Structure 1
Amino acid sequence: MSAVNIVMLITLVGLLVWRLRPVKGVRNITTTELKNELGNKDKQYIDVRTPGEFKSKSIKTFKNIPLDQLSTKASSLSMEKEVVIICQSGMRSTKAAKMLKSLGFTKITNVKGGMSAWR
């Protein structure tokens, strides 16, 4: 393997690790922990999957705001209440958490494993 290939591989792995790292200041919970928190009126529950994914399987308490619409619809969310975010596997909800953090939200919770872990 050439030095260029090794550098490219290391860079690719580094970028992947960087993208998957937890967002600083965002709480991460399991779906088991989520079950204990559902119904809390002081929290906003957001599912960032596509409308089709949401329609096929969703949690009653969650509102669907697809990730690609979140930045424009974030103004409909209260910055005073905690935002609990879920997606299919945890990748899009991590992106959503980063986005909300950059928009000034401070109370953000990401559901690890997403709907894939929901039973």
Structure 2
Amino acid sequence: MLFNLFNSMPSVSTQELEAKLTEKPQIIDVREPNEFIGGHIPGAKNVPLRKAETYTPKGKVYVICQSGARSKRAATILKSKGYDVVNVKGGMSAWSGPTRGGKL
């Protein structure tokens, strides 16, 4: 039990992430480009799950997808490489903050 406790993935709710937007956190959205274009968090970078293995964040990074499943996988990959990663629970399905349709 303790082993899992120390290896658990840090996570935040979409409301907690929204409260941090003024700090301009590094956010990666691991959905596919067509999903990202349909609406994403302002300032988020599109890094599809298939590219998470080669992504190099600078400092703490928040990972989001549509529901939370892909972001958890991507966060696990990045954390295993030693990065400071936070998974966003519920994903864009739970996001009620500002969104932007956008560019890649």
TM-score range, shorter chain: 0.7 to 0.9
3-state SS of 1:97 partner: helix
| Structure 2: gaps spanning 5 or more residues | 97-104
* More helix per residue: 1
In structure 1, what residue type is equivalent to 2:15? T
Residue 4 of structure 1 corresponds to which residue in structure 2? none
Alignment of 1:1-119 (within 5 A): 24-41=7-24, 43-72=25-54, 74-75=55-56, 77-78=57-58, 81-105=59-83, 107-119=84-96
| Structure 1: gaps spanning 5 or more residues | 1-20
Structure 1 position 52, deviation (Å): 0.3
Whether the 8 Å CA contact 1:27–1:108 is kept in 2: the answer is yes
Cα displacement string for residues 28-78 of structure 1 (whole angstroms, at most 9, x for unaligned residues)? 11111111111324x311000000000001111211000001112x23x21
Whether the 8 Å CA contact 1:51–1:64 is kept in 2: the answer is yes
Aligned identity (percent) is: 45
Whether the 8 Å CA contact 1:23–1:97 is kept in 2: the answer is no
Name segments (4+ residues, structure 1) moved above 6 Å: none
Larger RCO (CA under 8 A, 6+ residues apart): 2
Residue 99 of structure 2 corresponds to which residue in structure 1? none
Q: How many matched pairs?
A: 93
Residue 8 of structure 1 corresponds to which residue in structure 2? none
Which structure would you say has the larger Rg?
1
